[in-house]
A and B are shown apart, each in its own frame.
Chain A
Amino acid sequence: MRLTLSSVYRPYSFPTLLKSSSFSTLCRPFCSSALSSSPTCVKPQVPLFLRQPIYSTKLCELKKWHDWAKGVAFSIGSTFVDSDNGPDSSLLCRELKWLMEDAVEDHSMIVKDDDSDERVKMRVGIEELYCLWKQRVQERRPFQYVVGCEHWRDLVLSVQEGVLIPRPETELLVDFVDDVVSENEDLKRGVWADLGTGSGALAIGIGGVLGSEGRVIATDLSPVAVAVAAYNVQRYCFQDKIELREGSWFEPLKDMEGKLAGLVSNPPYIPSKDISGLQAEVGRHEPRVALDGGTDGMDALLHLCDGAALMLKPAGFFAFETNGEQQCRALVDYMENYRNGSFCNLEIRSDFAGIQRFVIGFHQ
C-alpha cells in the first residue's frame, strides 16, 4: 500500500527535500539501468559506512532530522505489518539508530542531549539523510539498500539494487559446510562452487571455513552481482581464494565437471504466482531474477540437482536452500526417484524458525 506524503510526514520539517519528480526517479529504476549497462564497467557502490566523512552538520540539525525520522517511523505503527508483513515502528526505529551509526562518523556524539551548535562529521549530507529515510519509509526501499550493506554472519557485505540481500536463513548453509569440512580434510582442500552468488555472501562465508588450499568458484548471471561480489571478496582479501565467473548456473563451470568438492546455492525459489504478493521491500526493489523460480518455484532447483550429479566428484557435498517443506520433499523425492543412485545421505534441515528450508546430501 502507498501512503500519501502529507499523511505520514510533518511537512514543515524537511524544507530542502528533493522535488517529487527527481525523488521518484531515485528508487526503482536503479535495477534496470544498472543491468542495462555494459557488463565490464559496472562500478559497485561504496556502502555508506565506508564513505569518507566529508560532510558536516550542526548537532541540532541532526537532532531535528532524527526527531522527524522518529516521528515518521512512529506514524507507521503496524500499517506495513498488516498490509504485507513489513516492518513496524519499533523495527524502523532500530533501523534509524543503525542509519545514524553508519552516517555519523563519531556516533558517541549522538547521545549528547543538548541542542548545541557543535558540528558533527558525516558520511552523507543532511538533505540526503532526509531523502534516504523518505525512501526507506515511503518507497519501502530495503534498509540494506539505503545504507548499502547487510550484516550477515560476522561479515558486513556491500549490497545495492540488482543484488539480492542475503537472508539470515542462508547463514546456516555456511554452518553446514563448516560441519562437513571439519570432519573431512579432503573436502576442506577441494574446490567449491556457489551458484547464483549475488553479493558473494555464501562464497565468502565458505571461503572462511575452508582450509588454506580450498577454493571457491562463485557464479552469477548478473554483471551487477558479479561486480558487487568481487568488491566484497576484495574487502575480505579473498581474491586468491574466490574466483568469480559471470554466466548462468553451470555454464561457466564446464572445466570443473566431476571435480567439485562441494556445491551450494540459494537459487530463486518463489513460485511466479506469489511474486506479486510479496512484501514491498522484496517485490518492488529486489531483483526478480533472484526470486522467481518459475511455475512451482522449482525450475532452478531441479536444474541444480541435474548439474550436481554431473559436476560433483565422488563423495562431494551439496546444500540447497528452498522455499519450505513442500519443495524440500519434492526435491528429495526427485533425487531419490529420478536420479536414483546419484546421491546419498539426503537430509532435510530446518531454519531457526522451524521451517524445513534446506536439502543437503552427498554425491555417491
Chain B
Amino acid sequence: MSRFLGKSLRTKGPLFLHKILGISSESHNILVLSRYRRHFSHSLPHNTSNLVPSTGSLQIRFFASEAAAATTEPSTSDGLTVQGILANNWNILDENDGDWKSHATAIAQSIHLIKRRLHWEKLKVRLDMLSFQLSKEDLWDDPVRAGKISREHGSLLGKMKEVNAFEQELLEHIDMIKLAREENDADLESESLKALLNMRRNAKEKELEALLSGEQDSCSCYIEVQAGAGGTESMDWAAMVMQMYKSWAQRRGYKVTVVDEMPGEIAGIKRATIKVDGEFAFGYAKAEIGVHRLVRISPFDSNKRRHTSFAAVAVIPILGDGSTHVQINESDLRIERFRAGGAGGQHVNTTESAVRIVHIPTGVTATCQNERSQHQNKASAMAVLQSRLDQLEMARQAQFNAQHTQSLTDITWGSQIRSYVLHPYRMVKDLRTNYEVSDPDSVLEGDLDSFILSYLSASLDKDDDA
C-alpha cells in the first residue's frame, strides 16, 4: 500500500535538496535532457533509464520534469493523450477480453480519477510554489521551515512522479502495440497487451492509495469514543463502538493500546481513548469522525422498550518525528494524579497510578491510567496532550474547519454520520454516503472498510477541481 506514497516520503530528505540546490543553475540543461529523453524514448521504449548516466542526475531529472509535466502533456508517437483516450469513448470490456482499447480506457479512467483525488491542478500549483521557495538563497537560514518545505516538496513530487510515470507507461505500451501490428510481431503484441492488463489491475490499487494522500493520512492516530446522554444504555453503546474499532484495527494489522478508559457504573464506558499504531491508521480512521446512533431494545430496560443512543467519535493524528510539534512549557502544565485521599507514600500500596495533565493556557487535558507505572502513565498522557495541542494548532493555522481537525468536544451531537438499527429491522446506514448493509453484527465486529472507503471516495470525488 505504501509503495506509492511512502517511498517518496522516506527518500526525500534535506540532503537531497542541498544537492539539488547546489546545481540548480544547471536545471535548464536538464530540462532539455528530459525532453530529449522523452522524445527519444518513443523509438527506444525499453530501458530508457540507461540514458541517464548517474543516480545524481537521475534525481535531478525528476526535479526538472515537474516543470515539463506542467507544460507539455505526454502523448504517444501519433499524438494520443490520456484525455484523447477518454474522449474516444471506447467500450470497456471484461479484463479477459484482450482488447487494448478497452484496457487503455480503463487505465485512463483510473489515471483521471487518481488525479482528481490528488487535486492535480492544486498539486501542481503547490509544487511550483514549493520549488520556488526551495530555490531561494536564504532558505536554510531557517532550518525548521526549510525542512518542512523540503519534506512537503519531496512528498508531492513523489506523488506526481508516480502518476506521470504511470501515464507514460500506458502511452509507451500503446506505442508498442501499434508498432507490433505494423511489424506483424505477434509476440511483442501479446507481451504488451499483458503489460496493459497488469497496469489495469494495478490501477485499481492506485485509486485506493490516492484516497489517502492527505498530509497526515499516513500517521498513527488516537481514537476517542464518548457516550452520549442516556445512562447505561448509551455507555454500553460507546463500549460497543470502541470494541468495533479495536476489532477493525486488529483486522488491519494495526497495534492497539488502550490509553484511557472511564468505565460506566453498571456497564459500558463513559469515554475511552485508544492508540492505533500503523501506516495510514489516521487516513482510514478519520472517516469515522462524528456521531454514531444506535436503535435497539435495550437489555438494560426491564420494560423492553426501544431506545436510541449516541456515541461521539474523534480521531487525532499522531504527527511523526519529522513534523513540527507545538512546544509545551513544563510550567504551563498541571499534573494531577487520581488517588484516593490519605497520607500517600509508604502508607499506601496501590497499583492505581493514573495521571491527568492539564495544559493551563488552552485548558486541554489528557488522562492515562492503563500503564502500570505512574512514569509511563505520565509519558502516555503527555503524548496524547502533544497530539491534541498539535491538532489544535493545525486547526488554528488552517483556519478552515476541516472535519478531521475537530476535537471531541467540538463535535456537535447533530453531526450524525451513521445509524445502526438492530430493531425493528436490521441495518447499518452511513448518512453521508447512503451506503448501507443489512448485517449489523459484522459491522460491529469491525468490518468497516467498505464504509470507510465509500466515504473517502465520495468526499474526494465530489471535488471537481481536476
Residues of chain A touching chain B, judged by Cβ–Cβ distance below 8 Å, are 81, 85, 87, 90-91, 94-95, 98, 142-144, 150-155, 164-165, 167-169, 171, 266, 268-270, 274, 278-279, 281-282, 286, 290-291, 321-324, 351-353, 355, 357
Task: Point out which of B339, B342, B351 has the most chain A C-beta atoms below 10 A from its C-beta.
Answer: B351
Instruction: Out of A142, A168, A278, name the residue touching B374 (CB < 8 Å).
Output: A168
Q: Decide if A171 touches B374 in the complex (CB within 8 Å).
A: yes
Q: Decide if B375 touches A152 in the complex (CB within 8 Å).
A: yes
Task: Point out which of A81, A143, A169 has the most chain B C-beta atoms below 10 A from its C-beta.
Answer: A169
Known A98-B351, A278-B347, A279-B348; 14 more pairs at CB < 8 Å? A85-B341, A85-B348, A91-B352, A151-B373, A153-B376, A167-B349, A169-B345, A266-B346, A270-B347, A286-B349, A321-B345, A352-B337, A353-B337, A355-B344
Residue of A nearest to B348 (CB): A279
- The yes or no answer to B355 lying at the interface (CB within 8 A) is yes
Q: Decide if B344 touches A169 in the complex (CB within 8 Å).
A: yes
Task: State the Cβ distance, A6 to closest chain B Cβ, in Å.
Answer: 26
21 examples of A-B residue contacts, CB within 8 angstroms:
A81-B340, A85-B340, A85-B348, A87-B350, A87-B351, A90-B263, A151-B373, A153-B376, A154-B375, A155-B373, A167-B346, A169-B344, A169-B345, A269-B345, A269-B346, A279-B348, A282-B347, A286-B349, A323-B345, A324-B344, A324-B345
Q: Please indicate the chain A residues that have their CB under 8 angstroms from the CB of B189 in the complex.
A: none
Contacts A171-B375, A353-B337 known; A279 to B347 CB distance under 8 Å?
yes
Q: Decide if A94 touches B348 in the complex (CB within 8 Å).
A: no
Q: Please indicate the chain A residues that have their CB under 8 angstroms from the CB of B370 in the complex.
A: 94
Q: Decide if A352 touches B374 in the complex (CB within 8 Å).
A: yes
Task: State the Cβ distance, A140 to closest chain B Cβ, in Å.
Answer: 9
Q: Please indicate the chain B residues that have their CB under 8 angstroms from the CB of A98 in the complex.
A: 351, 372
Q: Decide if A352 touches B373 in the complex (CB within 8 Å).
A: no
- The yes or no answer to B260 lying at the interface (CB within 8 A) is no
Q: Decide if B346 touches A324 in the complex (CB within 8 Å).
A: no
Q: Decide if B351 touches A143 in the complex (CB within 8 Å).
A: yes
Q: Please indicate the chain B residues that have their CB under 8 angstroms from the CB of A95 in the complex.
A: 351
Instruction: Out of A150, A281, A357, name the residue touching B345 (CB < 8 Å).
Output: A357
Task: Point out which of B340, B349, B353, B371 has the most chain A C-beta atoms below 10 A from its C-beta.
Answer: B349
Q: Please indicate the chain B residues that have their CB under 8 angstroms from the CB of A167 in the complex.
A: 344-346, 348-349
Residue of B nearest to A143 (CB): B351
Residue of B nearest to A280 (CB): B349
The size class of the interface chain B forms with chain A is 20 to 34
Task: State the Cβ distance, A18 to closest chain B Cβ, in Å.
Answer: 24
Residue of A nearest to B337 (CB): A352
Residues of chain B touching chain A, judged by Cβ–Cβ distance below 8 Å, are 263, 335-337, 339-353, 355, 370-376, 379
Report Cα–Cα, A95/B372, bound state, in Å.
9
Contacts A85-B348, A279-B349, A282-B348 known; A153 to B375 CB distance under 8 Å?
yes
Q: Decide if B373 touches A153 in the complex (CB within 8 Å).
A: yes
Task: State the Cβ distance, B288 to closest chain A Cβ, in Å.
Answer: 21
Instruction: Out of A91, A154, A164, A322, name the residue touching B350 (CB < 8 Å).
Output: A91
Report Cα–Cα, A286/B346, bound state, in Å.
10
Report Cα–Cα, A110/B373, bound state, in Å.
23
Q: Decide if A142 touches B347 in the complex (CB within 8 Å).
A: no
Report Cα–Cα, A150/B349, bound state, in Å.
11
Task: State the Cβ distance, A201 to closest chain B Cβ, in Å.
Answer: 11
Residue of B nearest to A142 (CB): B349
Q: Decide if A154 touches B376 in the complex (CB within 8 Å).
A: yes
Residue of B nearest to A166 (CB): B373
Residue of A nearest to B343 (CB): A324
Q: Please indicate the chain B residues that have their CB under 8 angstroms from the CB of A357 in the complex.
A: 344-345
Q: Please indicate the chain B residues that have their CB under 8 angstroms from the CB of A321 in the complex.
A: 345
Q: Please indicate the chain A residues that have their CB under 8 angstroms from the CB of B373 in the complex.
A: 150-155, 168, 171
Task: State the Cβ distance, A82 to closest chain B Cβ, in Å.
Answer: 11
Q: Please indicate the chain A residues that have their CB under 8 angstroms from the CB of B351 in the complex.
A: 87, 91, 94-95, 98, 143-144
Task: State the Cβ distance, A40 to closest chain B Cβ, in Å.
Answer: 29
Report Cα–Cα, A261/B375, bound state, in Å.
25
Contacts A152-B373, A154-B375 known; A353 to B347 CB distance under 8 Å?
no
Report Cα–Cα, A171/B335, bound state, in Å.
14
Task: State the Cβ distance, A75 to closest chain B Cβ, in Å.
Answer: 16
Q: Decide if A281 touches B372 in the complex (CB within 8 Å).
A: no
Q: Please indicate the chain A residues that have their CB under 8 angstroms from the CB of B342 in the complex.
A: 85
Q: Please indicate the chain A residues that have their CB under 8 angstroms from the CB of B344 in the complex.
A: 167, 169, 324, 351, 353, 355, 357
Task: Point out which of B335, B342, B355 has the most chain A C-beta atoms below 10 A from its C-beta.
Answer: B342
Task: State the Cβ distance, A155 to closest chain B Cβ, in Å.
Answer: 8
Q: Please indicate the chain A residues that have their CB under 8 angstroms from the CB of B352 in the complex.
A: 87, 91
Residue of A nearest to B356 (CB): A352
Q: Which 6 A-B pairs have the closest CB atoms?
A: A151-B372, A168-B374, A151-B373, A153-B375, A352-B337, A281-B349
Report Cα–Cα, A167/B346, bound state, in Å.
7
Report Cα–Cα, A325/B32, bound state, in Å.
79
Q: Please indicate the chain B residues that have their CB under 8 angstroms from the CB of A352 in the complex.
A: 335-337, 355, 374
Q: Please indicate the chain B residues that have their CB under 8 angstroms from the CB of A279 in the complex.
A: 347-349
Report Cα–Cα, A237/B371, bound state, in Å.
24
Task: State the Cβ distance, B366 to closest chain A Cβ, in Å.
Answer: 15
Task: State the Cβ distance, B268 to closest chain A Cβ, in Å.
Answer: 13
Q: Decide if B375 touches A165 in the complex (CB within 8 Å).
A: no
Task: State the Cβ distance, B204 to closest chain A Cβ, in Å.
Answer: 32
Instruction: Out of B339, B346, B375, name the residue touching A353 (CB < 8 Å).
Output: B339
